[in-house]
């Protein structure tokens, strides 16, 4: 394998990041030894070696070309289904992958609950979905996923008024400077990790009443550079790198999914990497990366394809609960020799800490 000269070397912390891309006709794999430089190196042509893709099937191209290659093996019938009568909740549904997912579910007759933070943009998204699909069973809920008290209040009300078959945790953020919410929580952690935890656990009782219940969480391949770190969940120590904080949150989501799969056997849990897609979030959070890679990025619909497949396909639930997916296939959550495995006690501790946070905010939730 050939390394570029500007790849930093810190042998004591070898970290691998798989990022699909195209340089000429060659597939690209990034081998990073310093995770703090991921953002800069993401936009460069780095390690080029496609000799052993057949030997290592986890080398999946996360860009547009990779999707197009993978899609040749998709069975269209998997998602050509009627889901009328089933209820889906999609967070972060006013744009990007969330909206694309909601739209495709609506086309198939599902009842779709859009959970969004910005009311104005959410109403525009709802109108677009209803107009394009003809499905009138689209409902809007305004919730700030960085505010745990709001999530609890919403979930408690939702359980009394609706049924739910499928929860899609899509909402997320990448804030590049350390910001605290009104509750004193670091904003990325509050939204990506704690918000996902509360939304899911609060709705588990409702999901357990449903037939073929599923929870899908949209993570990111960026988590492959991160080992679970429970010592600094709110990123208060050392320099703040929003990209790495986001990647850590996405690793936490993978751990959450694995733990939930063990705890709730009547619900099918999955977590997935949508690939690198051209979404408003990518444009705003990673502008340099977007400018360099925009011609190779997946469309929003391509990024949403595996979310849709996991949400509606009968094939998805034939696979074990708790797996990590890309392009309708389960893929490893760790790369070889990457030293990102964490001990079981750390994973259990993460769940304990999040439950403590969760209950703290539930206890002060209005109406409780």
- Give the active site residues: 246
User: How far apart (Å, rounded) are the C-alpha atoms in residues 140 and 116?
Assistant: 8
The total of other beta-carbon atoms located within 10 Å of residue 58's CB is 15
Question: Which string of b and e fits 307-327 if b means at least 16 CB within 10 Å?
Answer: bbbbbbbeebeeeebbbbbbb
The answer to whether residues 169 and 196 touch, using CB atoms and an 8 Å cutoff, is yes
The total of other beta-carbon atoms located within 10 Å of residue 6's CB is 10
32 phi, psi to nearest 5 deg: -110, 135
User: How far apart (Å, rounded) are the C-alpha atoms in residues 366 and 333?
Assistant: 39
Helix (H, G, I), strand (E, B) or coil at 29: coil
356 phi, psi to nearest 5 deg: -65, -45
User: How far apart (Å, rounded) are the C-alpha atoms in residues 92 and 115?
Assistant: 6
307, 301, 341, 343: which is closest to 325 by C-alpha?
307
User: How far apart (Å, rounded) are the C-alpha atoms in residues 72 and 69?
Assistant: 6
Give the single-character DSSP code of 60.
-
Angle (CA) 237-240-245 rounded to 5° is 95
The answer to whether residues 322 and 88 touch, using CB atoms and an 8 Å cutoff, is no
| Count of residues in the chain | 368
List, in order, residues 6 or more apart from 72 with CB less than 8 Å away: none
Helix (H), strand (E) at residue 263 = helix 242-263
Kindly provide the residue ranges of all beta strands, DSSP E only, lying in 36-179, ordered along the sequence: 87-91, 111-116, 138-142, 166-169
Helix (H), strand (E) at residue 254 = helix 242-263
């Amino acid at each position: 394998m050939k390394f570029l000269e500007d790849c930093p070397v810190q042998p004591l912390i070898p970290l691998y990041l798989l990022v699909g891309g195209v340089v000429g006709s060659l597939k690209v794999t990034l081998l990073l030894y310093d995770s703090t430089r991921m953002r800069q190196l993401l936009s460069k042509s780095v390690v080029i070696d496609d000799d052993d893709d057949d030997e290592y099937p986890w080398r999946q191209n996360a860009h547009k070309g990779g999707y197009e290659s993978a899609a040749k093996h998709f069975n269209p019938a998997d998602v050509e289904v009627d889901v009328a009568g089933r209820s889906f909740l999609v967070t972060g549904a006013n744009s990007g992958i969330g909206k694309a997912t909601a739209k495709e579910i609506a086309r198939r007759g599902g009842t779709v609950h859009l959970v969004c933070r910005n009311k104005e943009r959410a109403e525009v998204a709802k109108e677009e979905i209803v107009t394009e699909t003809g499905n009138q069973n689209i409902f809007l809920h305004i919730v700030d996923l960085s505010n745990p008290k709001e999530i609890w209040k919403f979930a408690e009300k939702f359980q009394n008024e609706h049924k739910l078959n499928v929860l899609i945790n899509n909402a997320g953020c990448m804030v590049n400077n350390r910001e605290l919410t009104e509750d004193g929580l670091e904003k990325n952690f509050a939204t990506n990790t704690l918000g996902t935890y509360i939304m899911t656990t609060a709705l588990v009782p409702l999901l357990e009443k449903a037939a073929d219940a599923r929870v899908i969480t949209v993570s990111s391949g960026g988590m492959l550079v991160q080992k679970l770190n429970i010592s600094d969940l709110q990123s208060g120590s050392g320099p703040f790198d929003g990209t790495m904080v986001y990647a850590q949150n996405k690793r936490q989501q993978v751990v959450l999914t694995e733990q939930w799969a063990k705890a709730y056997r009547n619900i099918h849990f999955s977590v997935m990497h949508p690939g690198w897609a051209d979404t408003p979030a990518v444009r705003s959070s990673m502008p340099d990366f977007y400018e360099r890679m925009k011609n190779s990025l997946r469309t929003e619909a391509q990024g949403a394809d595996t979310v849709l497949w996991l949400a509606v396909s009968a094939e998805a639930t034939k696979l074990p609960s708790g797996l990590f997916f890309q392009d309708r296939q389960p893929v490893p959550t760790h790369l070889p020799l990457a030293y990102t495995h964490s001990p079981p006690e750390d994973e259990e501790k993460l769940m304990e800490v999040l439950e403590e946070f969760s209950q703290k905010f539930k206890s002060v939730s209005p109406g409780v």
